Amino acid sequence: MGEVYALGVNFKTAPVEIREKLACSLKEAENILPQLKTSAGVEELCILSTCNRVELYSYSSTKENVELLLFLFLREKNLEEAKKYMFLLKGEEAVFHIFKVASSLDSMVVGEPQITAQFKESFQLARRVGTTGKILNRLFEKALRASKRVRVETGISRNAVSVSYAAVELAKKIFGDLKKAKVLLVGAGEMGELAANYLKRVGCQIFITNRTYERALKLSHKLGGNALRFEEMEDYLKDMDIIIVSTGAKNYILTQELVKRAMKRRNYDPMFIIDISVPRNVEPAVGRVDEVFLYDIDDLKEVVETNLRDRMKEAKRGEIILWDEVKKFNNWLESLKVEPFILRLKEITEHRKKKDPYFRRLLFKAIKEMKNNPEAAPIIFRIFNEEVKDVSGGKGISYVYNRTDGA
């Protein structure tokens, strides 16, 4: 029997310039997986490559083959000096690490869903090119099951941990159903664009304005929104429910007086304003206007930090779930040790068990005992094979099982 191994680099062990050089595209992984598996002599192999990690998961009968795998991979990448950044885990520790990665509990942002999809994709690729087998197939299936349990049974993905998504979550708390809410994106900053994109997905109508109208047109095409003239902002401000300001301007674009006039024209229906600009582009006094909810970048970061703390608490609960799944997998792996004995027992008793109900019961108990005590399987097999021919009626059962200690 072999062991499960995990080796590689991730954001905890290696700087980004090392991870970049070791990264493998799906096409590259498809080409080198069979070559590495054969050359290193490992029985099964998979590569997971993302922006934050490049990790090789293998099943091997010897550690020497895994060490050779590491050497060959680094040579393939022409980066032997990266060895000092590599980690190597074996057995239960490796299984737990793989489950943790699949469940996003080992991610830079705990609970982010992208890693689970990447994990699944790398597994499917390795299985397609034939470098996984009985062990890794079962391991990855159980890892994905564990990931689902963690998401369902904990709150690791419940709260927003990006500034853009935090803005959307706050908007939901203010307006409830965001479908058909009108959103104005002022400027073309990256975080503002992300927030607008999130809002688009939940059914909001998106409007974009920018000092350069052509830029607004380009972004509106990208987001599936409508471009508006920057100089006409006061005319349409009253129609907007959510305003995201994300520009590089050095002055206030939304002033208290401008927003006061807009709120009066909209009969003081609630308005949510998110100022993601640095420096701020919304006058702080805007937050004192009736029914206006103003959040700046620091407010959003405070929400994110609180949510991150909550996620870390949930991650501890998630690890308890993972250890439960690791134990189940290891029990299954241990049970494989007795398979040759069970198959041989069934083979040598094939004719007799069909005719003798008592013999079938005895065989069933022997197999059950092997599964419960894999280490004793050779002894149970020897005793059964040598002495069961002398067992008849109800005699001899206790004799067989009393001998499992090798006496």
Q: Which residues are catalytic?
A: 51
What is d(CA 120, CA 137) in angstroms, rounded to the nearest whole number? 11
CA 273 to chain centre: 33
Hey, what are 32's tokens?
Answer: 């080198």
The type of residue at 175 is: F
42 CB neighbour count, 10 Å cutoff:
22
At residue 17's C-alpha, the angle toward residues 194 and 308, to 5°, is 45
Tell me if the bond preceding 279 is cis, omega within 30° of 0. Answer: yes
* Backbone φ, ψ for residue 176 (5° rounding): 75, -110
| Collapsed DSSP state (helix, strand, coil) of residue 358 | helix
Look at residues 154, 156, 160, 219 and name the one whose alpha carbon lies nearest to residue 184. 219
Helices (H), 159-239: 163-175, 190-201, 213-223, 233-236
Any residues with CB less than 8 A from the CB of 231 and at least 6 apart, and which? none
